Amino acid sequence: MHFLYHNQNYDSLVEAKSKPDGVSVIGVLFNFPDNKAENPNTSVLEPVINGISKVRKIGETANLAPFSISTFELQKSYPYRYITYQGSLTIPPYSEVVTWFLSSVSTDVTMAQMEAFREIELENSDQGNNRPVQLLNGREFEIVWINSRNKIMLHEEEGPSTLSLNKFLH
């Protein structure tokens, strides 16, 4: 799931999407728990699930109850890692205006919650909401380690040629 923010130096998201420093996205990865009997904390997604149940068709809108991104406990343990890089929007026109932040902490999700996301009607009769894997195009990735709420331990432990998402997540 993506949380999209636009640079407040611009009057709107539309304007920000045309600027090289216009948009930041925090990417949250979902995880299906191995042991379903443990009753994972999947309630953090309920504000989102409740909202998307009202917007299954293109053009429908709904107001979500406010919630903090801290609800997702992306920094629930230290050392905490995230990866950041300059990239593009994942929807047309795919503008290269996004500073991406991907957390090493995933959020537990139930199958029913995942199905709620999959039931949303997509534009152009698309069957999935994923963009094909893109070439790196010279992008540099930075892995940031934080060992407390304010202290950065290490930058760029590994270069992009050796970066492994599985290694990053574990």
Better pLDDT: 60 or 70: 60
The arithmetic mean of pLDDT across residues 116-134, rounded, is 78
User: pLDDT digits over 3-26, tens only?
Assistant: 889 999 999 999 999 998 899 998
Do residues 109 and 41 make contact, with C-beta atoms less than 8 angstroms apart? no
User: pLDDT digits over 142-151, tens only?
Assistant: 888 776 655 5
pLDDT of amino acid 11: 94
Work out the end-to-end distance of the chain between its first and last CA atoms, rounded to an integer number of angstroms: 19
Q: Which domain holds residue 136?
A: 2-169
Domain count for the chain: 1
Do residues 14 and 30 make contact, with C-beta atoms less than 8 angstroms apart? no
The arithmetic mean of pLDDT across residues 130-154, rounded, is 71
Its pTM surpasses 0.75 = no
User: What is the token pair recorded at 109?
Assistant: 């999700």
If 0-12 CB within 10 Å is exposed, 13-18 middle and 19+ buried, where does residue 45 land? buried
Banded pLDDT at 106 (limits 50, 70, 90): confident
The arithmetic mean of pLDDT across residues 55-73, rounded, is 78
CATH of the domain at 140: 3.10.200.10
pLDDT of amino acid 10: 94
DSSP structure string for 63-118:
PPPP--GGGG-TTSSSSEEEEEEEE--SSTT--S-EEEEEES--EE--HHHHHHHH
pLDDT of amino acid 23: 93
